[in-house]
Amino acid sequence: MYSLVLILCSLVVVGVYADADQTNIIYGQDNRRDIKELDSVEIKKLGKSIAGRVLNFSFQVSTIDNKISFNNVPTLSSSNSMKVCSGQRFAEQKTAADCTGFLVGEDLLVTAGHCMMGMGQRVSNRVTRQCRSFSWMFDYTSESDLNNVSLDSVYGCESVIAGEFSATKDYALIKLERKVKNRTPLKLSQSKASLGQKIFVMGHPSGLPLKYADGARVFETENDYFSTNLDTFGGNSGSPVFNADTLEVEGILVRGDTDYVMDFESNGERCMKVNICDQERENCLEDDPNILGEHVNYIDIINSNL
């Protein structure tokens, strides 16, 4: 999500997150789950159409066997990632991605605008710096071998067909360099989400392998976005937010409250732990007064560009 995170001393993460966001939070119970833990075949199929953004220079391509190998991907506990404290969930999982996108056409992908352009920009049929520098990897799960990734899972960006990154609109529609095989574009809602609607999200929180998080609902609605209590993090930017009843995409996750707060290991070493609020988005370990809940741009802005 768009970076509203509180800068904590010298622990600001650089590298793969330089162009992405590091925001969001846990509300009540941590509802994040690995895809392999799900029973629903339908929801698992949705996950096949979701991709993580990866730096082009972070992997090598072998034309001999059409495989991709990633270089030195840090775990969530690494100082090159979030350096989370001992005992934090997913601490030893790798963090290869820094944004999330989802398939809406055979060669069309949607993500957050700030994943593809700078603040204040509005683009049309343009090859942005982010388009040139990043690719999109499907099938990035907790079972993935990042030293043996099929080339059929990774797609470059040809251009940004339409996109905007402003205070209220944060979206990008991307044309991929080739058609995506054996994956079904997600169905998009044709109406705006209503108050109280139950929702769930799938994406790459903090760059982790694909996660599913439910137990959330729509709290507030505005002209261009709605507010929720989804358990999401930086790396979830661009994630599809689904209607729990219809399994249609209601919107694009774009920004939220502070992800992590500083803590200390037993030996006095600084580390980060997940920021936790109650289900009503109050009583947080740390709160950003400028934002309330997790903001999701309505998907109608994509419908109008298809």
- Residue 71: what pLDDT? 86
- pTM equals 0.86
The residues of the chain scoring below 70 in pLDDT are 1-29, 257, 278-292
Query: Is the CB of residue 208 less than 8 Å from the CB of residue 73?
Result: no
- Residue 3: what pLDDT? 37
Per residue in 84-104, pLDDT tens?
Answer: 999 999 999 999 999 999 999
Number of H helices, E strands in the chain: 3, 21
CA 119/CA 166 separation, integer angstroms: 6
% of residues, the chain, pLDDT over 70: 85
Query: Is the CB of residue 217 less than 8 Å from the CB of residue 228?
Result: yes
- Residue 280: what pLDDT? 53
Per residue in 187-222, pLDDT tens?
Answer: 999 999 999 999 999 999 999 999 999 999 999 999
- Residue 35: what pLDDT? 95
CA 246/CA 283 separation, integer angstroms: 32
- Residue 291: what pLDDT? 57
Angle at 234 between CA 231 and CA 239, to 5 degrees: 70
CA 203/CA 186 separation, integer angstroms: 14
CA 271/CA 82 separation, integer angstroms: 8
Domains in the chain, ordered, with CATH? Answer: 49-176 (2.40.10)
Per residue in 228-239, pLDDT tens?
Answer: 989 888 899 999
Locus of tokens 């219809």: 246
CA 180/CA 302 separation, integer angstroms: 19
* Burial degree of 286 (CB within 10 A; 0-12, 13-18, 19+): middle
- Residue 231: what pLDDT? 87
